[in-house]
Chain A
Amino acid sequence: MTGLLELLGLGASAELLSLSGWGGNLLRGLANSLQIAFGAFGLGLVIGLFGAYGKLYGGKVTRDLLAIYTTVIRAVPELVLILILYYVGSDIINKISEAMGGGRVEINGVAAGIWVLGIVQGAYATEVLRGAIKAVPVGQIEAAKSYGMPAFLTMRRVTIPAMMSFAVPGLANLWLIATKDTALLAVVGFNELTLETRQAASSTRAYFTFFLAAGFLYLMVTLCSGAVFARVEKWARRGQPSLKGGAR
């Protein structure tokens, strides 16, 4: 193995990327990125579900507030939002902490990242889920209603399972965006994959090696996600004949 790498003139790169060296840092950065992406995506789903239901069934005030939320979040570039939410958020927490007699609080980078990206994801997820709920044939929900299912049970047993097949492609997009938006957290000094890569590259001057390695890691995340979402979509589409026709 080592011999082969030497032969290809990649010995130096392999050494730079070794797990005990910078390679380990990159993987730690990846783990941080994934942790934030998972958290933000999950938070986004929760916000999105409430947001979608609020937009569809809520009163006027709820609908107006949600319209402001989705419009503003989707209008402002993510990078700007991250800067605003991160600095405003940590400022507010510190103000509260000081008012209560405590000192300055060290903001946990992962938690901050999840909140900031989660709020961004929530705005997009609201629209994805709203569209998916609207695509559920009205008869499915009417049947549940006509048999005395209460609203929450209908949502859990009928609406959400029935809308999943419409929502999964949009949600898969959101997840991939979440994994890559974590890179934007580099601007607030959070040690995710992109920042780790930049530090490794500038310390060793091996820019090409490290950014290629980071690109490879992002690609792997995307490929694995693709496989997972393909299975989720297959499950969500259970009971629906394939568009290619015929076989079960």
Chain B
Amino acid sequence: MHTATAAASVPETGTPREAIRVEDLHKSFGNLEVLKGVDLTARQGDVVAIIGGSGSGKSTMLRCINFLETPSSGKIVIGGEEVAMRADGSPANQKQIEKIRTKLAMVFQQFNLWTHRTLLENVIEVPVHVLKVPKAQAIERARELLERVGLGGKEDTFPAYLSGGQQQRAAIARALAVNPSAMLFDEPTSALDPELVGEVLTVIRDLAAEGRTMLLVTHEMKFAREVANHVVYLYQGRIEEQGPPAEVFGNPQSDRLKQFLSSVA
């Protein structure tokens, strides 16, 4: 169903509309410059995998896109709308950034489900209180989504009583509940026990297959190669190499990427 809408939005030219564009993004923490000018474009339906060693700035880049981190400078355009920024990089219009955030659903490494709410309450929270969806409708949709990520019957359970894999799947259901135009995954499997990684990747794989736009920061190289249609390798705050997964993984050009790939393989 979603694929159909994505296809319908393809303009005459044949290229899908741009979903996220980042231009010359810089971010410093004090004297430490983490991002040194990153450019990135994701079109609708793109699955962009962002890989790189720890400290390469990949999570920071993702968090700058929805302004969880304030960029130091640069330009961010979401669905054709440029985010108004002050000279110091902070969002100039809080209402605008809040509206944009509701279209970018984020999935965190540590799940970040609200611990005092049940799974169902977690999933309906944003639709009901931010998007003003009628509660009955939100509940119906939340049940469908929880069913879909394999958590049917767990609606009334609190997050603390679930495994990491289950919590992350619930977090994905929470993300889907806002009907996002793009999803941001910040190392979604890095906090999971190895045997739980698979169940979360299966859910993400399905989402990629239905044509969702996704930015995926990950350490799962095999998975990135399989689901992404574009791979970005960050090294020390710059894009060192990017391209289709077959190129980046199959025929890496730079020595750093070669070294990185051999170290994680």
Q: Which residues of A contact B (CB under 8 A)?
A: 139-140, 142-150, 153, 157-158, 161-162, 164-165, 238-241, 248
Contact = CB atoms under 8 A, between A and B. Distances in A.
Interface in B91-119: 94, 98-102, 104-106, 108, 110-118
B108 A145 contact: no
Given A147-B126, A153-B130, A161-B116, A240 B160 contact: yes
A147 B116 contact: no
A146 B94 CA distance: 13
Contact of B112 (A142, A153, A239): A142
B98 A150 contact: yes
A148 B117 CA distance: 18
Interface string B122-133: 000110011000
Given A153-B130, A162-B114, A148 B108 contact: no
10 contacts: A139-B111, A140-B112, A147-B101, A147-B102, A147-B125, A147-B178, A149-B130, A238-B116, A239-B158, A241-B161
Contacts of B129: 149, 153, 157
- Which 4 pairs from chain A and chain B are nearest by CB? A239-B158, A148-B101, A148-B102, A139-B112
B160 A239 contact: yes
Contacts of B102: 147-148
B115 A146 contact: no
B44 interface: no
Interface of B: 66, 68, 94, 98-102, 104-106, 108, 110-118, 125-126, 129-130, 158-161, 178
A7 B236 CA distance: 90
A164 to B, nearest CB: 8
Given A143-B108, A146-B108, A239-B116, 13 more contacts: A144-B114, A145-B68, A146-B101, A147-B102, A147-B105, A147-B130, A148-B99, A148-B130, A149-B98, A162-B115, A165-B116, A239-B118, A241-B160
Contacts of B178: 147
Given A140-B115, A143-B112, A239-B117, A149 B126 contact: yes
Contacts of B106: 143, 146-147
B114 A140 contact: yes
A146 B160 contact: no
A144 B116 CA distance: 13
A165 B102 CA distance: 29
Contacts of B112: 139-140, 142-143
B84 to A, nearest CB: 16
Contacts of B113: 143
A146 B66 contact: yes
A135 to B, nearest CB: 12
Most B CB within 10 A of own CB, among A139, A147, A162, A241: A147
A144 B99 CA distance: 13
A239 B159 contact: yes
Contact of A240 (B66, B108, B114, B115): B115
Contacts of B101: 145-148
Contact of B114 (A143, A146, A150): A143
B121 to A, nearest CB: 10
Nearest to A158: B114
B143 to A, nearest CB: 19
A217 to B, nearest CB: 36
Nearest to B128: A157
Given A145-B101, A147-B101, A240-B115, A157 B125 contact: yes
Nearest to B158: A239
B245 to A, nearest CB: 27
Nearest to A165: B116
